[in-house]
Each structure stands twice: as structure tokens, then as C-alpha cells.
Amino acid sequence: MTLHELSEKDVIQVKTGENLGRIDDLIFDEGSSKLLSVVLRGRGRLFGLLGYEDDLIIPWEAIKNIGADVIMVEAEPLPTQHRTKRCQ
């Protein structure tokens, strides 16, 4: 599966049924090349003019199932990372 295929699936919190967004990036361990977590970019407020919500970082171990349309996660996101500028 490619990052593009992952990024087209909605990430759903199993406990609440909340749609957390879509995967935008991956975090790897440089030494072992192990996939550590996925990053969901914060949503824009008023089309990004009022800034963006914080990014959500979800540990790879929290992903319980990757289906045809959604990715089910069973853990709270890690502390968010605040971005002041959006990189495109």
C-alpha cells in the first residue's frame, strides 16, 4: 500500500466514531526505518486565513484495521504539534 492510497482513507476513532481526518504524512525511525506514527494535518479555519488547527500524531500501533474506505484507530492521538505556517 502506498502513502497516496493511505491518504485517501478517513481515519476513524473506534471509541467515539469520530472522523479524525486523513493521513498526510508518516514518521519513521531513521536508524531502524521502522514506521512510528502517522500525521493528520490540522484543518484550516476559514480556508486557512485564520490559521490551522493543531496536527494529530497517531502511533502506528494504535491502528487496528485498514479497510477499503477507512482506517480504524483505537488510541488517543499523541500531543499535537502546533504549526504557525502551513507548508505546501
Q: How many domains does the chain have?
A: 1
Read off the CATH number of the domain in which 34 is found.
Answer: 2.30.30.240
Give residue 70's region: left, alpha or beta (phi > 0; psi -120 to 50). Answer: beta
Cell of 17: 466514531
Q: Is residue 64 part of a domain?
A: yes
Domain of 27, in residue numbers:
3-81
pLDDT, tens only, 25-81: 999 999 999 999 999 877 666 765 776 677 889 999 999 999 999 999 997 655 555
Any domain includes 34: yes
Note the pLDDT of residue 76: 66
The answer to whether residue 88 is domain-embedded is no
Residue 86 lies in a domain: no
